[in-house]
Structure 1
């Protein structure tokens, strides 16, 4: 085989004949096999063989998945290919035990792998080599300290030949280098087969040269794998003297194969990079017009964003299987775009809000796809582990291999969708049109009620929204929701001053002992350390009810989302009551003085008190408490707060349509601010 300095178009007569024989073995079916996880496992085995691995007493054990689970991709690959790997391993071992040439064994292996893609053929062969070498290496390393390894070594006749490995350093070095190059070739072929060729017309001659090199490289990787397996077998079946004598010849053969495979690897990588760049350029130019076009469905848009040749770019969170964008057809798609480091409380808030959807999973008109973005290329092993950990807890679809996300798409997300690192939720309708560049706030506030998550829907929801304690808490705690439905007086408070908290809770207990039914709930602040200390004291001294630490963080994140939503919609008017109230609360969160909100049930009347004024008012309960029977608790407090009225007599009235809960509501006079007396008016409907 010629090196990469010569065009792959011009094969020698020998190579031309070889090419025809190789292609005659290739009869692929349409069955998709995801071999990448298996290749990664084989690579790990080979990598660990290069490390010192003698087990000693007290040695730190290998880390396992805390949940005791294997990577689902590896499990699936082994289920699909395990029997074939065993069959190929046996076939390659036959070369050492039969009078058959290396070429004949290579062709026999190719015949057995005929139905698989070129990259899958090589993954299977490398898995067989890794398994054989791994078995041998484990025995040689564990033999001195492990009784089981000692017995197996004796059974294989290795016990008296273990020391031979000390004289095989150069041979093992050549072996490892060759296998590393074979892995590199295979990885390049896997990535090449994943290229979304549909986005560009590649140069015919360059593509022909690439395919030729792939076919020849496949032959030589398999041939080298057979040779490697033979070298492993020779350490077991040959005598001590034979092993020692054959070392020089074997080392030369391994280095020779390594150089040949290395040349092929260099050529394949060079061509792959050229093709990859052409496709990136095509995707980049197409993205700018993609969202301006009218589509019949969302398939073209999603296929371009998640472009892969195998059409299975997504991970199903239920089955953990690879799936295609076809599962998103006729659905509104929310792209949850983030880095790998997401604030847990923010994620829990979104999950909690969306779990309240009344429909079954299959009936939901929308789906969420997690699109993790990493700014460093390529991804590190730590980032891959972080992704898998997050993907396992995400109750949504996610990219199966986000590290393969097109650089053009990543750049588009950053520049056109303004992703800078904080999570965003871009909404695409059923035709792939962007209806919201960030629905994060409206989902945090209203959950599924915000469907279809458009800007117009967000504005509509704000027009309908009242400022109530019920809206503030939003079913954040089932017990508090019950208290509100029961018509109890709800008091929310926060402070980072434990002395103020103790004074407040003591005075509230005095009021409840007087027969006033109210619930005092600590909601802290977004400053975790201060809140954690106060919360610990509240729990220990049983001062009041409280929200758990995580729920407190969610409460404040919702407030931030409310303000963010208002500002993003352009609400800067000082008359926007809800926005001003939220601003006020957010300014309280770091206060050492403390604050208190008081409301009854789902009433739109909320009293807001701050600092020492709260303690002064409550300390005077004996003075104004007798007014509770006439005016109610809220009215009595308002009477105590407002200066004496200079109006001797007030004739203000208003007519309100009857509702079932009208008798429970207390209306305040807009003129003198006193509670209004209820009367009934009957009107004949004949003329209405």
Structure 2
């Protein structure tokens, strides 16, 4: 790797000796503070007063981070501010003050040293400008201005003072840029370039030089701010200010050059590291591991020892909290549908109790995150409602990680879930469908488990509703007749409602529930009218969307597993039929008894005609059950004997009266009991 030259001219020979002396006192402690929030606050102070009007920054969650940083560093910041003031009052040379500051900050890493000194400078800078801005309108500000010597006549900005302020603001901007670059370098996983000793040593040397000059420039800025306060009462203003302006511009030019050299080398290091991180990920996921820590560290913790946010404690935690657990990586863009998010939240909350061996955790990875203010606001809103782990600072995710997710895992913007087993090995790239359909029942979220669940599954109300509402689960346990319907034809819905009410009045325990259609906009207006006219029970707007999202996941899952290619795949046929039902002009009705009974589907006028003939087939309900009687009224029994049969294992449903529909002729199947000897 080629490093940028020129760093040797940044310090004269005698100052190079001084730097070696300073490095001897650099002994950072293992515990490091989160100074990024404090640096953001410092930059905000500098920027607020660099424009003609104060930007009204609303309070946000970042304030909590700032409070924590100030708690830990506030006293040190105040101490540095006092040291800089002492330099001004005693006329101590800037170099000597810089050494004092660095010695006082020896236990901090370089980025934290810079943050503390710049925060101390921002405190003085901000105090001065708050008084200057409001002293003409606020009595308290006027009194403070008098206390500091900032009388009204001294605050009338002259041309030469404007030059000084312009130079000062430019210098402050460049110093913050250097501090950010140093901070970014310190969180780079430099172990990936450890073999390039010369380049790494050069980069670290440039960090030391940059830090020295930022701190020394801060001392000069503090002096200039004090000078500005006193300038209004001095007679020979221009003679004193002109050299100070040139000094500021000279420092700004030096800091700007340091920043360019530092930035170029940082970019080169970043590119080298990103290539090696991508290769590392490819190799990791190509192998088999007994522990997931290497995988999770490479994904999340290269730039931060505590990259995750615990939703319960709101604390930053390391990847070690996920050790020996199945980990579900929920990857999505920030503009994810709220219903899709809620579906995963609801399903994942149904964890299997008292089975610690089946413990798993979900980690949210917000992809395509650019750290812009709007995106940060959206991220804060979403992360608040998630009961999972999430990435604390999405912008810290390596670009190679995002590249790997897009190119190898084929993330294209829609939500996806990648399941990692206890060792960090990928057990499924499409676990979202499993979670959406079965929740924790799909543990450990492998393709074999997904197929096993489908092999046991029938087309039932339990599959369709899946406890989407606790009341529905109660009705299914009571073996009530559940009727789900969808339509955008209000006339048809009114007729259906009238006939179902007559059925209920006749003593049939039937519940009619509107579940909308796959056309969300049309469903919304129809649902409103059904609610207003009290035509039936209904799912809420959100639950309607969840109902259809689950159906889409069912189709996706079965297609991926190859069921859709089978000619007798009745479940996929039923799912496809419902998902395309929005093309029909009238409506449809699904009828099922209890949780595990088979479901009958009727269309349009067929529904109304059958219910109109209740007097003809209603007396058969007691003998055949509602579903059987309805099937008989439709004439679905085969004209010729049907020889279809199926043997199912014993279950409670085999004796509680729940019925099954013949896959061949669609009639209600008769039940027989078979006894088989279990001895060899």
Partner in structure 2 of residue 50 of structure 1:
50
1:19 aligns with 2:13: no
**Among 582, 588, 604, the residue aligned to 1:611:** 604
1:68-467 alignment, distance < 5 Å: 69-161=61-153, 163-167=155-159, 168-237=161-230, 239-241=232-234, 244-245=237-238, 246-359=240-353, 365-374=359-368, 379-467=371-459
**Among 518, 527, 551, the residue aligned to 2:543:** 551
2: CA distance, partners of 1:307 / 1:267: 27
Q: Cα gap change, 1:644/1:273 in structure 2, threshold over 3 Å: closer, same or farther?
A: closer
Which is further off, 261-270 or 360-369? 360-369
Q: Cα gap change, 1:409/1:663 in structure 2, threshold over 3 Å: closer, same or farther?
A: closer
2: CA distance, partners of 1:228 / 1:357: 58
Q: Per-residue deviation at 1:362?
A: 8.4
Deviations 1:43-71 (Å, cap 9, x if unpaired)?
A: 122111112226xxxxx964344xxx444
1: CA distance, partners of 2:383 / 2:624: 55
Which is further off, 348-357 or 290-299? 290-299
2: CA distance, partners of 1:311 / 1:411: 22
1: CA distance, partners of 2:538 / 2:75: 58
2: CA distance, partners of 1:146 / 1:521: 64
Partner in structure 2 of residue 57 of structure 1:
none
Q: Per-residue deviation at 1:675?
A: 6.2
Q: Per-residue deviation at 1:547?
A: 0.5
Q: Per-residue deviation at 1:247?
A: 2.2
Q: Cα gap change, 1:513/1:41 in structure 2, threshold over 3 Å: closer, same or farther?
A: same
Q: Per-residue deviation at 1:88?
A: 1.2
Paired residue secondary structure (2:122) = helix
Q: Cα gap change, 1:251/1:359 in structure 2, threshold over 3 Å: closer, same or farther?
A: farther
1: CA distance, partners of 2:349 / 2:428: 21
Deviations 1:237-291 (Å, cap 9, x if unpaired)?
A: 4552268343212211111111111111111111111211221222233332222
Instruction: Tell me if the contact between 1:235 and 1:243 (Cα under 8 Å) persists in the aligned partners.
Output: no
Which is further off, 89-98 or 111-120? 89-98
Q: Per-residue deviation at 1:507?
A: 1.4
1: CA distance, partners of 2:409 / 2:635: 50
Partner in structure 2 of residue 575 of structure 1:
568
2: CA distance, partners of 1:128 / 1:5: 32
Deviations 1:2-23 (Å, cap 9, x if unpaired)?
A: xx76353996430222112211
Q: Cα gap change, 1:509/1:210 in structure 2, threshold over 3 Å: closer, same or farther?
A: same
Deviations 1:607-648 (Å, cap 9, x if unpaired)?
A: 10011211122222233223323332222211110168768x
Q: Cα gap change, 1:658/1:259 in structure 2, threshold over 3 Å: closer, same or farther?
A: closer
Q: Per-residue deviation at 1:191?
A: 0.7
Instruction: Tell me if the contact between 1:298 and 1:329 (Cα under 8 Å) persists in the aligned partners.
Output: yes
Paired residue secondary structure (2:580) = helix
1: CA distance, partners of 2:292 / 2:637: 65
Which is further off, 25-34 or 441-450? 25-34
2: CA distance, partners of 1:558 / 1:268: 52
- Alignment RMSD, CA only? 3.0
Instruction: Tell me if the contact between 1:133 and 1:232 (Cα under 8 Å) persists in the aligned partners.
Output: yes
Instruction: Tell me if the contact between 2:597 and 2:658 (Cα under 8 Å) persists in the aligned partners.
Output: no
Which is further off, 268-277 or 558-567? 268-277
Structure 1 unaligned segments of length 5 or more: list them. Answer: 55-59
Aligned residues: 673
2: CA distance, partners of 1:270 / 1:186: 15
Paired residue secondary structure (1:144) = coil
1:585 aligns with 2:584: no
Q: Per-residue deviation at 1:314?
A: 2.4
Q: Cα gap change, 1:394/1:568 in structure 2, threshold over 3 Å: closer, same or farther?
A: same
Paired residue secondary structure (1:171) = helix
Instruction: Tell me if the contact between 2:476 and 2:593 (Cα under 8 Å) persists in the aligned partners.
Output: yes
Paired residue secondary structure (1:490) = strand
Instruction: Tell me if the contact between 1:301 and 1:432 (Cα under 8 Å) persists in the aligned partners.
Output: yes
Q: Cα gap change, 1:318/1:454 in structure 2, threshold over 3 Å: closer, same or farther?
A: same
Partner in structure 2 of residue 519 of structure 1:
511
Which is further off, 313-322 or 193-202? 313-322
Instruction: Tell me if the contact between 2:485 and 2:513 (Cα under 8 Å) persists in the aligned partners.
Output: yes
Instruction: Tell me if the contact between 1:9 and 1:212 (Cα under 8 Å) persists in the aligned partners.
Output: no
Structure 2 unaligned segments of length 5 or more: list them. Answer: none
Instruction: Tell me if the contact between 1:666 and 1:675 (Cα under 8 Å) persists in the aligned partners.
Output: no
Q: Cα gap change, 1:434/1:5 in structure 2, threshold over 3 Å: closer, same or farther?
A: closer
Paired residue secondary structure (1:165) = coil
Q: Per-residue deviation at 1:27?
A: 1.9
Deviations 1:450-504 (Å, cap 9, x if unpaired)?
A: 1111111111111111211111000000111111111111000011111211111
TM-score, structure 1 normalization: 0.91
Q: Cα gap change, 1:521/1:131 in structure 2, threshold over 3 Å: closer, same or farther?
A: same
Q: Per-residue deviation at 1:352?
A: 0.3
Q: Cα gap change, 1:594/1:162 in structure 2, threshold over 3 Å: closer, same or farther?
A: farther
